[in-house]
Structure 1
């Protein structure tokens, strides 16, 4: 759950003005440490957010565990996708701070049989998250293959699917509460990367999050996807407000680090800060060249002037 400024941990406050449809209260929790130190080459002291980097998309010349180790050495938190093909003990031994991971291995939110598979694999994922001390587990409307395409594409989401998704997410929120974790429902774009994915638009994920109304189910608001599918990013951020559990970023076009495309991320950073958000901002994008230089550009975009 993201931290907000102006309150001590354990206090409750209303959504910032203009920061969402719903005036419900949410509990303020401390931001997770970045793990940075004086020996790290990239300092985080002037940044109000916890900056994280997807190890799936940078330092591709390194074995996966070494990617995580390098991200950690540079002072960033790490994020991973599926845990099923990874050495969890080796990842834990890196000492990295993990902020999110994929919270299922198969299943979806629309088909009755697949829903049970989703719930079963979510329970397995929660156990892995505990081994990594990872607070958040990421979800999509359906599983994605290695090309990012939906395993179970849906041409039209009907009312029954909406009800099934809401009931399933309520169960996942209860699982998160029992385990002390937060499930994050990520928006995706269907125009370029993920055609046929149900509940892909940010407005869809927000509607589901608000319908469930649990602090253990939040949005993973991916601004790369939202720019392609919806745009108007600052108003989207303000409208989503306390439903946001994480912000993910990459530039458009190309899905590379901030500063390589059309999104003015310094303005995004200021808008997040002004509404009180100090939680995780994760880079889920490719490096346009050298990975370390890409991380430096990411850091610079979220350093407030």
Structure 2
């Protein structure tokens, strides 16, 4: 099966100015682009260029420095999310990505909330997710809840397993709230990639790809991506594959490796 491909422009094509990365991603054969935060981006220019070259936006982070697990941040979280949804609609983006914890520079977890109990964190996240889903449904957009690895890149992040993320989205029960399954993150945290994909495929709305260790392109680490892509086809995944990876040498060689799969 041919999966639609999305290039993460905050990780790939960093040899180029940001807006030029859109043109190059289209030239290289990507169907979509995605990025992290939107506040530091020229949204009008992204809208114009994506329309001009006919490449779509698959998604971006919708929550910035705010946390789902902090009950005191719920109001601010939802206000910011509403603003993110407005940007998503302007860009005709398919989705926004949300996280348990607010993330700072280079994905650093701003506050692990060690002072809060697991009960408080989980209940706060579930309560806010129900409201996130309502916003998503009202606006006809998808929200993807992303667990992150807590060993290498996002120490202190609360949401760390596919099971917790998928059980939360199942309990909320909205077709507009799904899980972003990042293969790199989940290989580090829990392994059993095929087992978790099969168990929770009904809740997976977007997939991120990078090899491990190193977070580079497929073929540079221990993950058998030939098997993974074949397996995704077998179990019926029909969504987008997002390449959120840091090229090991340069983006041109990384794209060559990506397209070989």
- Give the alignment's TM-score, normalised by structure 1: 0.81
Q: CA deviation at 1:68?
A: 1.9
1:54-73 equivalence runs, <5 A:
54-73=8-27
Q: Aligned match of 2:200 in 229, 240, 265? A: 240
**What secondary structure sits across from 1:239 in the alignment?**
helix
Q: Which has the higher contact order (CA 8 A, sep 6+)?
A: 1
Q: CA deviation at 1:248?
A: 0.5
1:1-305 equivalence runs, <5 A:
47-76=1-30, 77-95=32-50, 96-155=55-114, 158-301=118-261
Q: What is the distance in 2 between the residues matched to 1:157 and 1:91? A: 41
Residue 43 of structure 1 corresponds to which residue in structure 2?
Answer: none
Q: CA deviation at 1:235?
A: 0.7
**What secondary structure sits across from 2:155 in the alignment?**
coil
Residue 5 of structure 1 corresponds to which residue in structure 2?
Answer: none
Q: What is the distance in 2 between the residues matched to 1:228 and 1:185? A: 18
Describe the superposition over 1:196-235 as per-residue Cα deviations: whole angstroms up to 9, x where unpaired. 1111222221121111111110000001000000001011
Q: How many residues align structurally?
A: 255
Which consecutive aligned stretches of 4+ in structure 1 deviate over 6 angstroms post-superposition?
none
Runs of at least 5 residues in structure 2 that lack an aligned partner in the other structure:
none
**What secondary structure sits across from 1:160 in the alignment?**
helix
- Give the alignment's TM-score, normalised by structure 2: 0.94
Q: What is the distance in 1 between the residues matched to 2:63 and 2:103? A: 11
Runs of at least 5 residues in structure 1 that lack an aligned partner in the other structure:
1-46
Greater helix share, structure number: 2
**What secondary structure sits across from 2:260 in the alignment?**
helix
